[in-house]
Amino acid sequence: AQKVTQAQTEISVVEKEDVTLDCVYETRDTTYYLFWYKQPPSGELVFLIRRNSFDEQNEISGRYSWNFQKSTSSFNFTITASQVVDSAVYFCALVESGAGSYQLTFGKGTKLSVIP
């Protein structure tokens, strides 16, 4: 069973529009960690945020915000006033506390294209 689902394969928005990237996860652990990584066209993986399962506070960092809802097992990512530099593939990932070496389980990613 897929543990991290990113249903949106590709999204295109016009610059300055807001966009939300969806992430739904599945785990039996009561303690787990959720992440978002950005992969720009250059290919590297850039850490954006980590969220602990016991902390459901939403977080805002500049134009980025994250909405964590345990009731729906979702950890969505919103970019406000999108810019061309936001064009990238965004991966949601899960670490389960029961996974001995805390390896990341990634979703398939959402490719975001911001059109000028």
Partner 1 sequence: EPEVTQTPSHQVTQMGQEVILRCVPISNHLYFYWYRQILGQKVEFLVSFYNNEISEKSEIFDDQFSVERPDGSNFTLKIRSTKLEDSAMYFCASKRTSGSSYEQYFGPGTRLTVT
Residues that bind partner 1 (CB under 8 A): 33, 35, 37, 42-47, 50, 52, 91, 93, 95, 99-109
Task: Establish how many alpha carbons lie within 13 A of residue 82's alpha carbon, considering only the half-sphere containing its beta carbon.
Answer: 22
> How far apart (Å, rounded) are the C-alpha atoms in residues 34 and 27?
11
What one-letter code names the amino acid at 10?
E
> How far apart (Å, rounded) are the C-alpha atoms in residues 2 and 49?
21
Nearer to partner 1, 33 or 64 (CB): 33
Contact between residue 22 and residue 8 where contact means Cβ atoms under 8 Å apart:
yes
> How far apart (Å, rounded) are the C-alpha atoms in residues 53 and 64?
20
Q: How far is the CB of 87 from partner 1 (least distance, A)?
A: 16
Q: How far is the CB of 46 from partner 1 (least distance, A)?
A: 8
Nearer to partner 1, 51 or 86 (CB): 51
Nearer to partner 1, 41 or 116 (CB): 41
Nearer to partner 1, 79 or 94 (CB): 94
Q: How far is the CB of 113 from partner 1 (least distance, A)?
A: 15
